[in-house]
Amino acid sequence: MKRVLAHRIEIYPNNKVITYFVNCFGVSRFAYNWALEFCKKSLTDKGKVPSGYGLSKYLNAIKREQYPWMYDVSKWVVQKSLYNLAEAFQRFFKKTSRFPRFKKRGRCRDSFYTGVGCFKVEGRRIRLPNIGWVRMSQSLRFPGKPLSVVVSRTAGKYFASIQVEVEDAYEYSHICESQASVGIDLGIKDLAVLSTGEKFSNPRALRYYEMKLKRLQRQLSRKKKGSKNRLKARLNLSRLHYRIRNIRQGYIHKLTSYLVKNFALIGIEDLNTSGMMKNHKLSKSIADASFYEIKRQLVYKSLLSGSHIEVIGRFYPSSKMCSVCGFKKEDLTLSDREWYCEGCGLVHDRDINAARNILRVAVGQAETINACGDFARPSSLWIWRGLKKQEGGGSC
């Protein structure tokens, strides 16, 4: 199975290479802004803008006379920015994203692209155009055909994200050898509660560093704009944000890898994260939990591990419905962590009961997929055994 995998590796450039990187970041940003201004002027009533090839062709005609400094960097730096803008307009016309905006220095992601044939990877070093070899923190994990590399800067550190086309992607993933199924209920107190009864606590990385984050933001606001002290304060703040992101991402990666490795069928709710963020009392905790990131990682990791993800509708009453008798408790509130079922007389843990309901619906959806689908119909024997084992004969 051929797939394209990416490996993000930290690199250690010297001062000369850093200067070249900064020039590439600036040229990429300028090309994007120039193309956006050009598209705004040429935007027709029918909603048509030049393609990436058209923008590149027009810029090449005037580049030597008006922007000769663009030749100091690789051609891929400019071309990729133009094609990125063309893709942004396509998403806007499809109403999947908003209108493209200009990139401002210091407020956008600093990165540039290099295509196939213009770079080389050997061991723990990478050869980039116009600068030569640069040390990497580790060697490339995926042997195959390198397609592209994106050099980026985050919190004063530089990274190279290398895309490689591999022949057998299963060799570099967690292969699921189990036939078990599981339902997952995501929350704030416990990040994930499984239908098996397992609970994964929420690391709350943002909450842990909240006071330090406020202090660094206050220090940054007091520095004079344009001063070196302001640059130092901004770097300290970005480093803390980078640490928070690493804690959150590391925990989610461990959680999702565990799930796709041990369960063949995974049921998860389609949460309305953007709508939940409108609740000002819970928005910070919801953003810190990263529900969408958990779903995104589960989806792409399941393609490599052989697991299957079933997404349950967001309006399904998983918390209010009894997983044993089907009784629905209409007056259940968010503060009720345990509730008594009037139908069968059991006391349910809110999260575990929701996870079991999600599992039941996920199994039902998976059984309806025919042989032409992405997931082979599971055996009713192991589904029945999994449900009986998790329900424990009716006890919660």
Q: In the predicted model, what is the mean pLDDT of residues 365-369?
A: 72
3-state secondary structure of 243: helix
Lowest mean pLDDT among 55-69, 158-172, 298-312: 158-172
Under DSSP, the state recorded for 308 is E
Q: How distant is the alpha carbon of residue 287 from its chain centre?
A: 13
Where are the chain's structural domains? 3-170, 181-394
- The letter for the amino acid at 31 is A
C-alpha 316/C-alpha 320 separation (Å) is 9
Please give the residue that has the higher pLDDT: either 77 or 108.
77
C-alpha 383/C-alpha 265 separation (Å) is 10
Residue 66 has pLDDT above 90, yes or no: yes
Residue 27 token pair: 């040229």
Q: Which residues are catalytic?
A: 185, 269, 351
pLDDT tens-place string over residues 196-255: 989 999 999 999 999 999 999 999 999 999 899 999 999 999 999 999 999 999 999 999
Confidence (pLDDT) at 48 = 79
- pLDDT band for position 172 (50/70/90)? low
3-state secondary structure of 51: coil
Q: How far is CA 188 from each of CA 2, 184, 193, 241, 323, rounded to the nearest angstrom? A: 38, 13, 10, 20, 22
C-alpha 318/C-alpha 349 separation (Å) is 12
Please give the residue that has the higher pLDDT: either 374 or 123.
123
- pLDDT band for position 387 (50/70/90)? very low
Residue 132 token pair: 């030569």
Q: In the predicted model, what is the mean pLDDT of residues 184-193?
A: 91
C-alpha 201/C-alpha 386 separation (Å) is 24
- pLDDT band for position 364 (50/70/90)? confident
